[in-house]
Structure 1
């Protein structure tokens, strides 16, 4: 399963580890998990905590079951994050492919323009501001790709690492 939710990139993977540690080992309901992330991992708001829970699933740090969310005990493996990111985050692999095909650094808007046709029709139909949403999502994917060593910022744009 691939997840669309991508929180803003933190300054370092220390934030990812703090969130991972904040997810309970024993499954718990989403609301309780969000409160715990806000308390233990200094996540500022419940909506942001929900984003982190979903993104944690994409990175293999948490799982959702019938009783709620739980930490994957051996999930924190920074060396595995690049592959998990590409596999678990919707449009991450496609974004990196756009960078790989480019002859020069691309801005987030340029990357979005090259991905626009791949946005599912139902996503376009569900909101009049779908382009803004997807531009932000692509920007966040690019920032995470840099943090994970999959891309680099160069000359005001992004290139494949």
Structure 2
């Protein structure tokens, strides 16, 4: 399964662990998971919380069971997160291939334009920027002065 929502990336991977820890250990239909994330993390609203819950599923850090969300036993292992990010988040492959196909660093706007022209799909700049920032956080890309290049 592939997922589209991409939240604003945190400053460091430890913050992902904090958000994941706010997800119940076992599914419970009586727990409002969005409210729980808002209460226990830096997340400020329900839309952002819902995006994070879906994204945690993409990274295989949470599951969505009939009784509700639950965190998985998978730890915050950078290599496993990179693999899940590449295989389960829509658009990551195209963004990273675009970086690898050039011999110079690119700004997010240029990456977005190239992905759009190559794949003939709309890739909003904000989403491309978030994918790039997650790629930096997960050490798949480097960023300097607002320009990105593959690592």
Q: Are the structure 2 counterparts of residues 94 and 45 from structure 1 closer, same or farther at C-alpha, using a change threshold of 3 Å?
A: same
Residue 144 in 1 paired to residue 145 in 2? no
Structure 1 CA distance for aligned equivalents of residues 127 and 85 of structure 2: 14
Structure 2 residues not aligned, in runs of 5+: none
d(CA) in 2 for partners of 1:105 and 1:30?
Answer: 48
1:6 matched residue in structure 2: 6
Alignment partners' CA distance in 2, 1:141 and 1:21: 23
Tell me how far apart the structure 2 counterparts of residues 119 and 2 of structure 1 sit (CA, whole Å).
19
Q: Which runs of 5+ in 1 are unaligned?
A: 125-130
Report the CA distance shift for 1:53/1:101 in structure 2 as closer, same or farther (over 3 A). Answer: same
1:1-161 counterparts in 2 under 5 A?
1-29=1-29, 32-117=32-117, 118=119, 120=121, 134-154=124-144, 156-161=146-151
Structure 1 residues 75 and 60 mapped into 2: Cα distance closer, same or farther (>3 Å)? Answer: farther
TM superposition outliers: structure 1 runs of 4+ over 2 Å: 28-31, 74-79, 117-120
TM-score normalised by the chain length of structure 1: 0.85
Distance 1:90 1:96 in 2: 12
Task: Deviation per CA, 1:67-101: give whole Å up to 9, x if none.
Answer: 22111023432331111111111001111011011
User: What count of residue pairs does the alignment treat as equivalent?
Assistant: 150
RMSD, matched Cα = 1.9
- Take 2:76 and 2:3, find their aligned partners in 1: how far apart are those partners? 18
Normalising to structure 2: TM-score of the pair? 0.91
Query: 2:30 and 2:114 mapped to 1: Cα distance?
Result: 35
